[in-house]
Amino acid sequence: MSEFTLKTADGRAFLTITEVAEGPFFVNDLFRRKFGGDAPDIPRHFIAFYKDSAGALHVAGFSHMLRFNSVYLSGGSCSNGDTLRRMSAEELQLVEAEGGIWAMILRHCWSRLDGECEAYFGHCGDRRAREVALSTGFVVAHMPVHIARWHLPLSAERKTELLDSVIAIGLF
């Protein structure tokens, strides 16, 4: 199993994170509840799946990564409180020890996408979401809501150029 699969003390895998081709199929209900519309139908979709003790799968969280020139735009990220409430105390503790669902999804994205881009950008206006984003390597890039993850050694000029190009497209 990948490093993005969590197991209980008795070895039962209960949470895994993977990229799927048809994100809306899995997350539209959650996305509509959180954002009031359908999930994006363009790649790339990263989903955390929870397997309960009976073997049923539930969406625990979602994040979308949209390629924009040489960067990825991170958006539509959300976790599913209904699924989290299904978890046992041990499972919740293991998730929290990893920083939460979204932090795990972001780390999975970095492991998959770092070689494909110069940076990541997102919008983050929610206090708790900002805390999680900053804990995974994002930094505040432009007030009030732009965040960036600089995983490559880029010059200050290149960072400014990339940030300006992202700001120019508006909300994503």
Domains of the chain: 5-169 (3.40.630.30)
Give CA–CA dist 33/35, Å, rounded. 6
Cα–Cα dist 50/5, whole Å: 10
pLDDT for 1: 39
pLDDT at 162: 97
First to last CA, the chain: 33
Task: Let me know: does 38 contact 31? Beta carbons within 8 Å.
Answer: yes
What span, in angstroms and rounded, lies between the C-alpha atoms of 127 and 51?
29
Q: Is 46 left (phi over 0), alpha (psi -120 to 50) or beta?
A: beta
Give per-10-residue mean pLDDT for the chain (172 aa): 82 97 97 96 96 97 97 95 98 97 96 97 88 94 88 97 94 82
pLDDT at 142: 83
Q: Where are the alpha helices (DSSP H) in the chain?
A: 23-35, 81-86, 89-97, 101-113, 127-135, 156-169
How would you class 133 by CB atoms within 10 Å of its CB: exposed for 0-12, middle for 13-18, buried for 19 or more? buried
Is 78:46 a contact under the CB 8 Å cutoff? no
Number of residues that make up the chain: 172
Q: How many CA atoms lie within 13 A of 81 on its CB side?
A: 2
